[in-house]
Structures are given as C-alpha cells and as structure tokens.
Amino acid sequence: MSAVTPQSVPAGEQTRLENLEVRASKVRTTLGTKIASAIAILIAIVWTIPTAGLLITSFRPEADIKKSGWWTWFTNFTSTTDNYVEVLTGSRFQLSTYFVNSIVITIPAVIIPITLALLAAYAFAWIDFRGRSILFIAVFALQVVPIQVTLIPLLTRYVDFGLAGSFWTIWLSHSMFALPLAIFLLHNFMKEIPRELVEAARVDGAGHVKIFFQVLMPLLVPAIASFAIFQFLWVWNDLLVALTFGGGNQDIAPLTVRVAELAGTRGQAWYLLSAGAFVSMVVPVIVFLALQRYFVRGLLAGSVKG
C-alpha cells in the first residue's frame, strides 16, 4: 500500500484539508482560552471567599458572630457598624491612633529607600568608577541576607546610640532592608533607557543633576511606583520589625501590633478581629489600586533586552 503524498492529493481536497486544520487550530485556541479563563475565574472566587467572609463578619453583631458562621448572614441580614466604632474609638482599642502611627511609619520608610536607591542606581548605571561591578554584585547579594539575623545586632546599635523605642529605629531598619532590592530594580530600569538620551543631554551641556532630574526621572515613574507598592505593603503589614525595634512603646506601635493583641492578650474580643483587619487593609488596597497600572511595567523592568 503506497503512502499518500501531498502531490497525490487533488488541489481541491488539499485546500479543504488546510481549511479544516485552520479551523481545528482556532477551536483548540478558543477552548484553551476559555479553559484558562474559567480556571482564572475559579481561582479568583476561591481566593475572594475568605475575604468576603471577613467583610461580612465585620458587620455582624457580636451575638451572631459567636453563635453562627458568616454564611448564615445570607438568611439573616442583620448588620451593624458597632464593631468598627468600638475598634476605632473605644477606650480599650483606639485603632485610630495606631492607624496614624502606621501612616507615620510607612511614608518615611517608603520615601527614604527610594531616594537613596535612585541616587545609587544612577551611579551604578551611568557613572563609570573603579570597582563598580564588584560593588553592585555585593549590593545585589545583600538581598539573600535574612532579616532575622540582623535584628539583634541592629537593636544593640540602636540602644548604644540612644534611638531604641523611637520611630527612627523602624524607619532606618525598613530602609536598610529595602535598599538592595530597590537599587537592583531601579538600576535595571535605568539601563533600559536609551544611551542616546543621556549622551544628547551631555552634548547640550547637562551635568549629572540635570540628566537625573530632567531626562531620567520622568521615565522612572513605573519602576518607582512598582517598588513603592512593594515597600508600602511590606512596611504597612510588618509586625516583626515593629515589635523588635519599637521596644514595646505603644506610642509608636502600628496597626499590626494592636490587631495582633486582639487575638492574643485580648482574646475575649476576638469578634472584633474582622473589623480591625479591614481597618488595616483599607489603605494598602487603595494604594495598590491607585498604582496598579505601573505595577507590571515596573516588574518587567530590565527583564527583556530590546
């Protein structure tokens, strides 16, 4: 039995087979896209259910929370804002004070490393100096150092300098921990900027300061916003650094410390955990939604050469 070759198939039949293959390819692509979309939707729903339950619980009366699960809310639509009033203004909790502390801690802890990392990244990317490559590798390698191994040495230095129990210890610690990643991310983004732009500015007589602020800075917004999101979420949700360097000083304690107390020393008020959790979530959600258009662009900085 002889094999069928393309030459032995009539032209009309050849065209029909090609059309069938094209249609089959489109069907496979469509099915693949639909399956992927369905899986993504399913994951999103599963991921959202606990958050939805937490939100519903935060508006349920104390008695309902203690006797039934959050899903029973759909058959009994009782809701109240008493939980939020108690955690924000109640004499036992006053999360509003700790909310302000979190803002006071987070904003400088984001601005300081970004400012220093921008200057360092510019030097690594556009200034040729001896040992630049070795120093950059050393900075990059610092990313693998666990935070936990630095806590006791840093705390010892802060005590020696008389800074223990102040906002400065938390600001400086978060800034130091964030600098290696910030420098690496911003350096990669700067290296993707066409060299011709910098050289043209130099030809026009621009120095490093003018090149940095007028040529590069407007192009660095996606990378800055991307790192700002990372750092903001990290600092806002941090508990370890605040507990270690805060020295138990409630005047500088952030929201995370107080919310942890709701589940710990004040376990009898566990029904307020959901309201306290949402109070601590609202600002990070707003920040992420406001800057999300820069997020992917910043993440992909330096990942592709074009």
- Helices H, strands E: what count in the chain? 13, 0
Range in 97-106, 182-191, 236-245, 286-295 the model is least confident about:
286-295
Region 256-263: what's the mean pLDDT? 79
What's the predicted TM-score (pTM) here?
A: 0.76
- In this predicted model, what pLDDT tens digit does every residue of 91-120 receive, in sequence order? 667 788 888 999 999 999 999 999 999 999
> CA distances (Å), 263 to each of 221, 243, 268, in order?
39, 16, 8
Buried-state track 155-164, b at ≥16 Cβ within 10 A, e below 16: beebeeeebb
CA–CA dist 76, 53 (Å, integer): 14
The DSSP letter of residue 215 is: I
Q: Who has greater pLDDT, 295 or 85?
A: 85
Q: What is the DSSP letter of 214?
A: I
The encoded tokens of residue 259 equal: 């919310």
What phi-psi label fits residue 253: left (phi over 0), alpha (psi between -120 and 50 degrees) or beta?
A: beta
Residue 223 above 50 pLDDT?
yes
Kindly report the average pLDDT of the chain as a whole number.
Answer: 81
Q: Helices 95-126 and 255-263 sit at what angle, rounded to 10 degrees? A: 130
Please, what is the end-to-end C-alpha distance for the chain in angstroms?
A: 53
Please check whether residue 280 is in contact with residue 260, taking contact to mean a CB–CB distance below 8 angstroms.
no
* Model confidence at 302: pLDDT above 50: no
Q: Quick one: pLDDT at residue 287?
A: 83
What burial letters (b/e) apply to 12-37, b meaning 16+ CB within 10 Å? eeeeeeeeeeeeeeeeeeeeeeeeee
Q: Of 168, 185, 183, 38, whose CA–CA distance to 109 is shortest?
A: 168
Is 205 or 175 the better-scoring residue by pLDDT? 175
Find the mean pLDDT for residues 136-163.
87
pLDDT at 77: 80
| Mean local confidence (pLDDT), 33-46 | 83
* Ramachandran bin of 207, using left for φ above 0, alpha for ψ from -120 to 50, beta for the remaining angles: beta
Q: Could you tell me the two tokens for 91?
A: 């004499």
Which structure tokens are listed for 188? 């990669």
Q: What's the token pair of residue 200?
A: 């043209």
